[in-house]
Amino acid sequence: MTDDVNPAPKTQGPTLVERRVQRIANARSVTIGLALTFVLLALLGAVVMRIVDQHNFPSLGWAVWWALQTVTTVGYGDIVPTTTAGRVVGGVEMVLGISFIAFITAGVTSTVIQRGAAGATQEDRAQRERNTQTIVDALTETRKAIAELDKRLGQIESRITG
């Protein structure tokens, strides 16, 4: 029988799910996902606007043009919804567009910060390696000097006792 009542837990790396989440949840993936969602939001808004306000948006092309203006907050005003349903769709499109612009900006900023931190970490690691090598070189020289002194001391002792 062993005396180990509570054996030490085995250390394991991240699980498959954890690895996938880490890979998916990086800033670049989030930024790309938000940008694609932004485009899909514009297309969805165009389709909905074409359906609810056919008088002001006689073609899908006009509706896409309006949606892109609205979701990007440019809003030229050359095409505007006049029906209540159209204005509601426009309001939702504007709020979501402004929100997504903020999220994309945050995602890009996060990516830049992460890359800067990674670069700083590599520079720090390289500097530590250089410092460690300098210390090792100094210790090697010290060891050689001690060996030389020990050799000289041995010669001196042999002359005195000899």
Report whether pLDDT(31) > 80.
no
The answer to whether residue 54 is domain-embedded is yes
DSSP label at residue 73: T
The answer to whether residue 73 is domain-embedded is yes
Report whether pLDDT(41) > 80.
yes
Average pLDDT score over residue span 4-27: 58
The answer to whether residue 101 is domain-embedded is yes
pLDDT digits (tens, 9 = 90+) for 65-112: 999 888 887 888 888 898 999 999 999 999 988 888 887 788 778 777
| Residues in CB range of 103: below 8 A, 6 or more apart | 34
The answer to whether residue 2 is domain-embedded is no
Structural domain for 104, as ranges: 19-122
Provide the CATH number for the domain around residue 107. Answer: 1.10.287.70
Residues 50, 65: Cα–Cα separation, whole Å: 11
Report whether pLDDT(8) > 60.
no
Residues 108, 27: Cα–Cα separation, whole Å: 7
The answer to whether residue 133 is domain-embedded is no
The sign of the dihedral angle between the CA atoms of 87, 89, 93, 99 is positive
Residues 125, 56: Cα–Cα separation, whole Å: 62
Q: Which residue has the higher pLDDT, 75 or 5?
A: 75
The answer to whether residue 127 is domain-embedded is no
pLDDT digits (tens, 9 = 90+) for 46-67: 999 999 999 999 999 999 999 9
- pLDDT for residue 110: 79
The answer to whether residue 11 is domain-embedded is no
Q: How many domains does the chain have?
A: 1
pLDDT digits (tens, 9 = 90+) for 111-125: 778 777 777 777 888
Q: Is the Cβ–Cβ distance between 41 and 96 less than 8 Å? A: yes
The sign of the dihedral angle between the CA atoms of 77, 81, 87, 91 is negative
The answer to whether residue 131 is domain-embedded is no
- pLDDT for residue 51: 94
